[in-house]
Amino acid sequence: MGARSGKDFLARLDSTPREIWYGDTKLTGSVSGHPAFKGVARSIAALYEMQLKPGMEFMTYASPKSGDRVGASYIQPKTREELVQRTRMMRAWAEYSGGFMGRTADYLNSSLMAMAAANEFFGHEGRDYAGNVQSYYEYVRENDLVLTHTLINPQTNRSVGPSKQTDPFIAARVVEKSSEGVTIRGARMLATLPIADEIMVFPSTVIRSGQDDIPYSIAFSLPVSAKGLKFICRESFSDDSGYDHPLASRFDEQDAVVVFDDVVVPWERVFILEDPEKANRVNEATDAVVFMAHQAIVRECVKAEFIAGVLTMIAETIGADQFPQVQEKIADVLLTAETMKAFLAASEANAKVNRWGILTPDYVPINSARNLWPRVAPSFSAAIKQIGASGLMAIPPEEILNSPARADVEKYYQAKLLGGEERVGLFKLAWDAAGSSFGGRQDLYERFFFGDPVRMASAYYSWYNKEPYKERVKELLHRKD
């Protein structure tokens, strides 16, 4: 089939049965027509459509298996041109949402393509896990599927591991193995984009090597239609009005807790089974973490640029752009954008062929960028609030434009550079980015989507080679002249 169109995506979405719970309702019928999903479904469809447009050939490449054009985020780069093609493609998708969609398909495609290149890591003992990963990558690539994933055990009691909870089946784990496959019971969080085609379940937190935690050391994938698989959604932030909620109405990807009610994972979809050592090493050993972070950093560059654009427009619109503290806040965001772009450029300039044969961005700038981002991104909403001030609350609902009060909006909401209707639209966008339910979720996402920044920083501290710096200090301390 190869690279699919928006219509293909929507047709599959609506014809794939799945158990999505929204409030007291189990979704039946058209998912793409449901108020909680229609905006994001339309946006994903637009992304798929984009890759087929004339002039956008860089978004696809010829599949090494079928020869069909397939999405460029599946490329296993061997050359600098291929690495840059991946970046170009990812940037085009990120620009569509201003970086507000974190889970466009290229995020997990990047992980899967790296794991497939490193499929030997998964081994062949007992079962051909290496072959399973390779076949799954090819299946996803040839059908251009979008994946969701869950890495984290439910937030029940973080002071003990999953086997020590009051019920050892709260966190998803192996129940039994049969000729059919592996039965999984329990839950995982948090799956962004439950309207995906498939789910990948991979370990992220460190699994202790004691016997009790072994059943939690698993990695597998499933179609979202798998029997017993449930997605329990949070409240939607979406809305019908693109004027009132320009971001939420289009890009609310939704987040769900995933329940596995004795779901049977067929053997060909099992990648790691009861192997804590592999589970703990998989992301680093396969370089999946590098390629996922590479995709994330491309998006983060775009988002920082977009936020800088929003801030500049607000400041200019109300004539606040001359004030030094306003300029300083915008300069901070511009510095973030340029820093992230510099990390990205350095990672690509120093890319090396990894032990699995693919050209891999340098991990030092990649790891630095992914640690920096959760520290700087939360300042975006603070800057929008600082500069937008009360204007962020002078945002009457769209209906007022069709009422007798419209003239008041045009007169009293006008700004130095914009009429009332346009000014309110701009400030609604800013509020959606920084303060609405959607904006609040964005802030949380940027803090946590790549893991807990506190533990990431500890890991960064341990990993970073600080010895050369210490040597220079010692040399100065011992200098005699």
Ligand X SMILES: Cc1cc2nc3c(=O)[nH]c(=O)nc-3n(C[C@H](O)[C@H](O)[C@H](O)COP(=O)(O)OP(=O)(O)OC[C@H]3O[C@@H](n4cnc5c(N)ncnc54)[C@H](O)[C@@H]3O)c2cc1C
H helix runs in 253-405, sequence order: 276-285, 288-317, 324-349, 363-376, 378-388
Q: How far is CA 286 from CA 118, 119, 120, 358, 381, in A?
A: 5, 8, 9, 11, 35
Residue number with CB closer to ligand X (191 or 302): 191
Among 322, 479, 338, smallest CA distance to 416 is for 322
182 φ, ψ (degrees, to nearest 5) = -115, 130
Q: Helix, strand, coil % (nearest 5) of the chain?
A: 50, 15, 35
Instruction: Provide the minimum distance between the beta carbon of 388 and ligand X in the complex, in angstroms, as a whole number.
Output: 23
Residue number with CB closer to ligand X (59 or 196): 196
Residue number with CB closer to ligand X (152 or 401): 152
Angle at 132 between CA 263 and CA 135, to 5 degrees: 115
Instruction: Provide the minimum distance between the beta carbon of 13 and ligand X in the complex, in angstroms, as a whole number.
Output: 18
Contact 38, 238 (CB under 8 A): yes
Among 109, 108, 35, 37, smallest CA distance to 72 is for 109
CA 371 to chain centre: 15
Residue 61 Ramachandran class (φ > 0 left, ψ -120 to 50 alpha, else beta): beta
Instruction: Provide the minimum distance between the beta carbon of 447 and ligand X in the complex, in angstroms, as a whole number.
Output: 7
Instruction: Provide the minimum distance between the beta carbon of 258 and ligand X in the complex, in angstroms, as a whole number.
Output: 9
Instruction: Provide the minimum distance between the beta carbon of 46 and ligand X in the complex, in angstroms, as a whole number.
Output: 21
Instruction: Provide the minimum distance between the beta carbon of 202 and ligand X in the complex, in angstroms, as a whole number.
Output: 8
Residue number with CB closer to ligand X (388 or 451): 451
Residue number with CB closer to ligand X (403 or 458): 458
Tokens of 61: 């490449």
Residue number with CB closer to ligand X (239 or 255): 255
Binding site for ligand X (CB under 6 A): 149-152, 155, 158, 190-192, 255, 441, 444-445, 448-449, 451-452, 454-455
Residue number with CB closer to ligand X (40 or 315): 40
Residue number with CB closer to ligand X (247 or 415): 247
Residue number with CB closer to ligand X (227 or 455): 455
Instruction: Provide the minimum distance between the beta carbon of 377 and ligand X in the complex, in angstroms, as a whole number.
Output: 12
Q: What is the DSSP string of 67-95?
A: -SEEEGGG----SHHHHHHHHHHHHHHHH
Instruction: Provide the minimum distance between the beta carbon of 101 and ligand X in the complex, in angstroms, as a whole number.
Output: 12
Instruction: Provide the minimum distance between the beta carbon of 264 and ligand X in the complex, in angstroms, as a whole number.
Output: 22
Cis, peptide link before residue 190, omega less than 30° from 0:
yes
Contact 329, 311 (CB under 8 A): yes
Spatial distance between the Cα atoms of 345 and 362, rounded to a whole number of angstroms: 10
